[in-house]
Amino acid sequence: MKFIVVGCGRVGAELCYHLFNSGHQVVVVDSRREAFNRLHPDFRGRTLEGEGLAESVLERAGIQEANGLAAVTNSDTLNAVVAHTARAVYQVPNVVARNYDPNLRSVIEAFGLHTVGSTYWGAQRVEELLMNPSHRAVYSAGNGEVEVYEIIIPESWNGKTVGDLLAPLKQCYPVALSRAGRASLPEMGTTLQTGDLLNVSSTFEGIGALSALLTGKAEA
């Protein structure tokens, strides 16, 4: 597949290398030639010096044939405009824009674009680790509004059911239950055993309530 990455900062350089390593054709665009020094020495994609806002630059990058474009500069406004241009003018099927400042997230969302808010997402991950070290996120949707968490069932919940654990909560839903290396789709009547790995789809608020319930800090 053919991808264009606009912005060769730390995020852009890492993204380029991952895409290239996966066998894709990559063109990276940046207004400063020295930015390409961040690219991995093994990267063999194209580099193109120029303004990502310029249609002539995007066309030289091959935007007419691109399968996807990522706008990952340190300017939220630039990312929004480049991504919108790629989708609205050139009909690039898959477009993603980076959001750096959470206060400007609405600027990108106003265009109806896929966005990754690294600052917002990173802050939420740190908060989760500080507040709820007993579980870990294994999948994140959107910018972390909904995630799938892996919960280890403690001895105090041995013999109780998935429904006993999740029914009192409004924002937690069972996804999978792993026991002795085998996974299954749990029902509310499924009995829990000590050491089970329960995957739960939840909001940040929901997983906090679930953690409190598991540790006995809330009424079961």
| Contact indicator for 90, 58 with CB cutoff of 8 Å | yes
2-119: CATH topology: Rossmann fold (3.40.50)
CATH architecture of 128-214: 2-Layer Sandwich (3.30)
pTM: 0.64
Distances (CA, A) of 79 to 61, 97, 210: 16, 6, 37
The residues spanned by each domain of the chain are: 2-119, 128-214
pLDDT tens digits for the chain (220 residues)? Answer: 999 999 999 999 999 999 999 999 999 999 999 999 999 999 999 999 999 999 999 999 999 999 999 999 999 889 999 999 999 999 999 999 998 887 777 777 777 778 887 777 677 667 666 666 557 778 878 767 898 998 889 899 999 999 999 999 988 999 999 998 899 999 999 999 998 999 999 998 898 889 888 887 654 4
114: number of Cβ within 10 Å = 14
Please tell me the distance from the alpha carbon of residue 141 to that of residue 173, in angstroms, as a whole number.
Answer: 15
Query: Over the range 206-220, which residues count as b (16 or more CB within 10 Å of their CB) and which as e?
Result: bbbbbbebbeeeeee
